[in-house]
Structure 1
């Protein structure tokens, strides 16, 4: 009975000492954490030609939409074509027609960890509309657009139309200061906006040429063509920078560990310099108490026996 009586208090003391020693552990590790780093994905896209047109037919009262995107790519992709065709029901018996003909028609979009870029290049381009099989809407020598978004730098956008420009058979001079209007009696009217560029803190977009057309061809069963066309458009979005990893408080190189508290005892300062802390004596004391209580319990049991 005496043996059982003293074993239970001894166990309680040992358990209490263990809890005291472990309680100091989390206090010493409270500053530890896990570092996270994430990388955002940038975006880039390029399109040689995008159309949004309504085509009215002679034998119908409804409009037939012509909404196509030619050589449209999104990173990481590229496309090179010289024959760009479309088919429109009810026009020329449903035969395909060339919307755009060019010696060079390329679109490219790329994205890396810190850079997104898109570019379009056209050379000797001829743009056609349904109902105008022989007369080009517009003819251009060289068309380029480019958008670049790089981490840590402001996005850039650039677009150019170089060389001669012919609209509905008429030679014109484009101006960056405002739109250019071209009217051809018996055919229609075209408005051209040259080199449109837009940038924000994270995005960029460039279009070499935007056209608003209103044509009355009265050929191939086409009564009227209205809408917009965008030639050589490039867009991008900047990849987000990786999040900085927080400093490890246990790292000896951390400058915070070199800071000395004013008025602190010399022994405590030395502990900080060697990688210890003010909590260390409590951890050691808890462990020592566990040993002493355990040894004392064993001694008491032996004496009672």
Structure 2
């Protein structure tokens, strides 16, 4: 006759399993490496004409802002524009007023993973301001601006200017020595800042011409025009290369109350009235329980 099998009560089995887990200690948590940073294709912009003028009207005693941009492009959102005229509707009794007319007016902005570039070309152009419909503020044969930012190279900004321009009907010779002032009695004053270029470690900007305007035309119901006009401007920003692979992060801290593997869980044991020796006591209890069970089984066989 087979001896009856020794079965451990479910409650005691659960206690043994819990004690064994505490004695072994929890598995250590391992950090996860962050994803690699993505690259930046850089940025570029170009504009043929930008105005920031205030137009004072005679009969209303108010200032009308004249903010006009022609062929203003940004990369990577847009690439190229070649509109040849810019008009304004706020003066001259509501009739369209042509601010700029040109045979060539190109602005292009491109960007890639290695290069960003803005270029502008304006040729055979005439610029007017309200109150002077027949007299050009400035006439230019051709001006250019270019800004190039290439990865691994120093950014470059360049401009191209003719030897002379016509300002308020006067032929003016351009020089690089500083601004050029043009004054026309009974009409107004214009100051020309030439060929402005700026570069940093990652950016470049080029402006072919910037005009500071102050005219009193007394025509088209316009008493005064003041502000700035920019012709042919380009900018860029060097693309950022992809970030190099980074080493794995340090292991994350375990949740509250959990200690790394191999160390006694002091915080938990303190809460339950235990001590660092508790795992060893539990292990000894398990061994005694197994020995007692074996002794019971042996006694039953002998009986």
Q: Same fold (TM over 0.5)?
A: yes
Q: If each structure's helix is expressed as a fraction of its own residues, which one has the higher value?
A: 1
Larger Rg belongs to: 2
Aligned residue for 1:124? Answer: 124
Aligned residue for 2:257? Answer: none
Over 3 Å counting, the alpha-carbon distance change for 1:219 and 1:248 in structure 2 is closer
Q: Is the 8 A contact 1:142 1:163 kept in 2?
A: no
Cα-Cα RMSD: 3.3
Aligned residue for 2:7? Answer: 4
**1:236-288 C-alpha deviation (Å, 9 max, x unpaired):** 22232221113579xxxxxxxxxxxxxxxxxxxxxxxxxxxxxxxxxxxxxxx
Aligned length: 257
Q: Is the 8 A contact 1:140 1:163 kept in 2?
A: no
**Correspondence for 1:85 among 84, 87, 101:** 87
Distance in 1, matches of 2:46 and 2:62, equals 32
Matched, 1:103 2:103: yes
State the TM-score, normalizing by the size of structure 1.
0.72
Over 3 Å counting, the alpha-carbon distance change for 1:34 and 1:3 in structure 2 is farther
Range with bigger deviation, 109-118 or 188-197:
109-118
SS in 2 for 1:60: coil
Residues 216-255 of structure 1 correspond to what in structure 2 (within 5 A)?
Answer: 216-246=216-246
Distance in 2, matches of 1:133 and 1:32, equals 69
State the TM-score, normalizing by the size of structure 2.
0.72
Distance in 2, matches of 1:118 and 1:199, equals 14
Distance in 1, matches of 2:235 and 2:41, equals 14
Residues 1-305 of structure 1 correspond to what in structure 2 (within 5 A)?
Answer: 3-5=6-8, 26=28, 30=30, 33-75=33-75, 76-77=77-78, 78-89=80-91, 91=92, 93-246=93-246, 304=297
Range with bigger deviation, 3-12 or 125-134:
3-12
Distance in 2, matches of 1:209 and 1:60, equals 32
Distance in 1, matches of 2:63 and 2:33, equals 64
**1:203-250 C-alpha deviation (Å, 9 max, x unpaired):** 22111100001112122222221111011111222232221113579x
Unaligned 5+ runs, structure 2: 250-285
Over 3 Å counting, the alpha-carbon distance change for 1:246 and 1:21 in structure 2 is farther
Unaligned 5+ runs, structure 1: 250-292
Distance in 2, matches of 1:18 and 1:138, equals 87
How far has the Cα of 1:60 moved from its partner?
2.7
